Each structure stands twice: as structure tokens, then as C-alpha cells.
Amino acid sequence: MDISSNNQKEFVLFGASGDLAKEKLYPALFDVFQPTDTIRYIGYARTVIRNDAFKKIVRDSVLKKYPEADAKKLDIFIDRFEYCSGTYDAHGIEQLKRNSSTVDRYYYLALPSSYTLLKDIVDGLSVHGLNKKSIIVLEKPFGSDKLSAKRLNELLLKHFSEDQIYRIDHYLAKDLVQDMLAMRFANPIFWPIWNNTYIESITISIKESEGIRDRGQYYDQAGAIKDMIQNHAMQLLAFTVMDQPKSLSASAIHKEKIRIFENIQLFNNDTLHTLAIGQYEGYRNEQHIPADSMTETYASMTVEIDVPEWRGVPIRIVSGKKLDEKTTDIIITFKKTNSNLWEKEGCQIERNQIRINVQPHNDIHLRLNSEFNSTQKCALPINLHFGFKDNKHLLKDPYENALRDLFNNDQSIFIGSQEILLAWKFIDTVLETLNISRAKNLEIYDHLHLPRTEQL
Ligand SMILES: NC(=O)c1ccc[n+]([C@@H]2O[C@H](COP(=O)([O-])OP(=O)(O)OC[C@H]3O[C@@H](n4cnc5c(N)ncnc54)[C@H](OP(=O)(O)O)[C@@H]3O)[C@@H](O)[C@H]2O)c1
């Protein structure tokens, strides 16, 4: 869908009164806004808000993130906003028909996940012909299993073509994840050794120190595997191991990710032992959580990708809440050197390791055995470190990256429908295998007594 014509652009934000809009989207829209752009913004939600009050909400939200925002740019930006109150269905959406024949539209759904709500909106847009010359942007979750994801895809594809649908996974929009493409494919010191000949294991880990906050109603239905692993962790995994794409086009990148998802080994009783689940102490006392809830707030599993270059490499995926730290890491551990030069001297050589900290440090560590100790006759490890923290101006908020790509019609970091179905196919087997013995496997932990697999 080429929305880059000279037509006037409008960005319609469904859920304009919500948290995501205020915390992330208004500041991100401001960041990517150029006063020379002619784009206009329509905030849409059920809550009745006067236009001037709405503009103040947007201004406050921008200033909260950018207290030093350029006043002139901010005035021009705010002037482009208007608010429209209505229901999320054909009746309410009829108001958006105004000007619609002369504008290209982005419809961003910053709304709680609900099939019925989404159906009412896409049907409503379609009834009024607003699905033409438009792009629809969606937040996860994209279904709750393969069947519901398929139903969701069918609904969307009934009214929009695949290149009109942008599914956001903000983890993929994080700078370090995108930088991995450059690191892996622009450096001949890395790409020839990025395979099972040299790599021993990979760990993808998304750990949070917070609990579920006020998301109990949603979270208890989902759990760590659906909430974090099915989407963020699996997308990070695909970016880490996918083969070099033929080009940097979205379709070439998606093709390589799909090859990984197609070949991820499905879970069964033989691989059940690689799976660990836990629930943090006190979870059952959280708001909206049943006293006998068996939902996992922690999960760890080891997977393998059945392609020639990765066969035999264990890939550990971990995600959990209320752990001892908040960190997202991709750790690549290389095999031991096959030279016995050092062993002869009684020196144990450490494995090379690359640790990409996606958040909060935004840095890369490379462990190299590069210090020669002449007394011990040993090569000692040194940690090379490149930190974006020291170059903060280089770092962008993921939503800013995502919106910039959206306005450039670039779907590379957005998720395609086939990827979603394949990721669910895998996760469905994990959950089916696990559910037989969920009660037996669920370990209660707290930050002093972490799940056993975290203590190794
Ligand atoms: N908040 C974040 O930082 C964040 C981060 C990443 C992803 N997300 C995702 O972004 C989406 C929106 O999140 P959010 O935190 O902004 O949600 P939210 O604040 O709970 O809801 C957004 C807006 O949706 C409307 N709404 C709420 N419940 C509704 C219902 N049952 N039926 C119809 N409309 C309803 C409300 O507007 P009106 O009542 O005025 O219509 C509300 O202001 C979710 O899918 C979430 O998973 C959020």
C-alpha cells in the first residue's frame, strides 16, 4: 500500500484518551513531526473531551517527555490536533467520513485487546469505505492461540491487504535490536562464524523486576509464555538467528524470520524437561487474580531450530516478572577454542561471548581472551564494551522508531500475519505439553528465592 502520494495525510488515533496515547504516542508523534509536514491528527475515543482540553492533554504529554521541546514546533504540532468523540463502531465512525475522499489515513488502534472491539472498528471503517487508501496499526496481543490469531488475521485481511496492516512489537523497534542487523550482516568478523560450527548456545532473556501492576484481568488469562515469549522473545530470537536477507526490504526480512519459525522444533513430552515455570509469591493476592490461579509469571525453555546452520545449538528463552533485575539480554556464547596450546600450560580459556543488552543499558559486551599473562602463560579475558548510554542522543524511543518507519511505509520491524501463526503454532505445543503437568511444575519464587533455573 503506497500511502506516500502527495495526498493530505491524517493520523486517526482510536483510544486517544488512554495510557498508551499519553505515555508513548503523543511524545513519539511530536518527535517525528516536522513543521513542514502537512499531516493532521484526529484523537478519537468515547470519552467526551473539549477540543482545547484535548490539546492540553497532548501538550502536557509531550512536555512530560520533552520539557525542553521547541515552543514554536510544539505550537504548530498541537494546532494540527482535533478531537472526535464517538463509539467504536460504524455509527460513531461515520463522523470520520468527512474529508475522507481527499486524504490518506493511518488508523492507530491504541485500545484494549478485544476481538469484538476490533471487529466493530474494522467493519465500521469498511462500511464507510474508509479502509481504502489507509493503513491500520495494531498493538499486541495478536490472538491468544493459533486459532484465534487465524480468526483475527482473516478479519483484518477481509478489509485490508497485508501491506496495509502494521502490527507493532515495540521490542523490535528498540535501537539495539535494529543495530543487530548491522552488527551481524555488515561485519565479516561476525557473519561467517554465526552458526553451529562456532556458536555453542544462545540465551534470550526478558526479565522484569515489577509484578503485574493493574493488569491482572488480562494477565491471568495470558501468563508469561503468551504475554512475553510468544511475541517479544520469539521476535528477538528470529532477529538473532535468521539468515542474511536478500535485501533490506520488509518482505526479504520477513521471509528469513518465517524460515526460522517454520523450523523451530515443536514441543512434546520428550522436551518437557527443558521447560520450567514459576509464579511469584503474592501473585494470587494481586487485584483480579483468583486465589487458586496456576498462571505462570515466569517461564524458561530451551528450543532448537532445525536448519543446517543451527541444528544442535540450544537456545534458551527466559521471561519473568518480579525477578532480581529488569533487563533484556541476548547472549551468544561461542564454543571453546579447539587449540590445546593453552591447556598444555594449565590455562583454562574462557569462551568468547557477546552480550547485547537491549535494555536498560543499551550496550554490547564482547568477551575476548586478549590479555597475555606471561607469568601464568595464559590468555585472560577482557571485556570490550560499547555503550549507547554514553551517547544518549543516539538512542530513540521504540515508538519513535516505529512511527518513523510507519510514515516511511517500511514494514521491516512490524510483524507479518504468517509469522504470528507460526509463532502461535509453536507456543500452542508448549502450552499443551505443559498443561498436563502444570500443577506439578509451577514453582513459587520471590526475588530472594529465584526459580531454580535462574540459580544455575
Ligand atoms: N500503556 C502502555 O504503555 C502500553 C505499552 C505497550 C502496549 N500497549 C498496548 O496498547 C493498547 C492500549 O493500551 P492502553 O494502556 O492505552 O489501554 P487503556 O488506557 O486501558 O485503554 C485505551 C482507551 O481505550 C478505551 N477503552 C478502555 N476500555 C475499553 C473497552 N472495554 N471497550 C472499548 N474501549 C475501551 C478508553 O477510551 P474511551 O473510554 O475514552 O473510549 C481508553 O482510554 C493495549 O493493547 C496495550 O496492550 C500499551
Mind listing the pLDDT tens digit for each residue in 291-317?
A: 999 999 999 999 999 999 999 999 999
Same domain, 92 and 184: no
Instruction: Tell me which residue has its CA closest to atom 33 in ligand 1.
Output: 117
Q: Does some domain include residue 45? A: yes
Residues with CB under 6 A from ligand 1: 15, 17-21, 23-24, 45-47, 88, 110-113, 117, 139
Question: Which residue has a Cα nearest atom 6 of ligand 1?
Answer: 20
Same domain as 249, residue 125: no
Q: What is the pLDDT of residues 413-442, one digit of tens each?
A: 999 999 999 999 999 999 999 988 899 999
Give the span between the Cα atoms of 438 and 202, in whole angstroms. 26
19 in a structural domain: yes
**DSSP E strand boundaries for 209-335:** 276-280, 298-303, 315-320, 327-334
Best residue for ligand 1 mutational test, from 13, 14, 20 (most atoms within 8 Å of Cβ): 20
Question: Taking the alpha carbons of 152, 154, 155, 156 in that order, is the dihedral positive or negative?
Answer: positive
Residue 155: count of CB within 10 angstroms of its CB: 15
Residues 210 and 326 sit within 8 Å (Cβ to Cβ): yes
Residue 349 lies in a domain: yes
Domain membership of residue 153 (yes or no) is no
385-400 pLDDT, tens digit per residue, is 988 655 655 678 899 9
Residue 424: domain span: 175-454
In a domain, 253, yes or no: yes
133 and 273, same domain (yes or no): no
- Residue 366 Cα to ligand 1 middle (Å): 40
Same domain? 128 vs 184 = no
| Residue 111 forms part of a structural domain | yes
User: Is 37 a member of any domain?
Assistant: yes
Say if CB 244 and CB 370 are below 8 A apart.
Answer: no
Same domain, 201 and 79: no
Same domain (yes/no): 339, 409: yes
In a domain, 161, yes or no: no
Domain count, the chain: 2
| Same structural domain, 180 and 133 | no
The secondary element (H helix, E strand) that includes residue 384 is strand 378-387
State mean pLDDT over 59-79.
97
CA distance 15 to 23: 12
List, in order, residues 6 or more apart from 332 with CB less than 8 Å away.
Answer: 199, 202, 240, 353, 354, 355, 356
Classify residue 316 as exposed, middle or buried by CB count within 10 Å of its CB (0-12, 13-18, 19+): middle
Angle between helices 398-407 and 175-185 (to 10 degrees): 70
Cell matching residue 324: 532480581
CATH code for the domain in which residue 348 is found: 3.30.360.10
Helix axes 146-159, 417-435, angle to 10 degrees: 160
Question: Of how many residues is the chain composed?
Answer: 456
**Averaged pLDDT for residues 323-338:** 94
Same domain, 316 and 422: yes
Q: Which atom of ligand 1 is nearest to the CA of 24?
A: 3
Q: Is 137 helix (H, G, I), strand (E, B) or coil?
A: strand
User: Is there a single domain that holds both residue 221 and residue 354?
Assistant: yes
CATH number of the domain at 17, please.
3.40.50.720
pLDDT per position as a tens digit, 190-248: 999 999 999 999 999 999 999 999 999 999 999 999 999 999 999 999 999 999 999 99
Q: Do 132 and 207 have their domain in common? A: no
Count CB atoms within 10 A of the CB of residue 47: 11
- 299 and 188 in one domain? yes
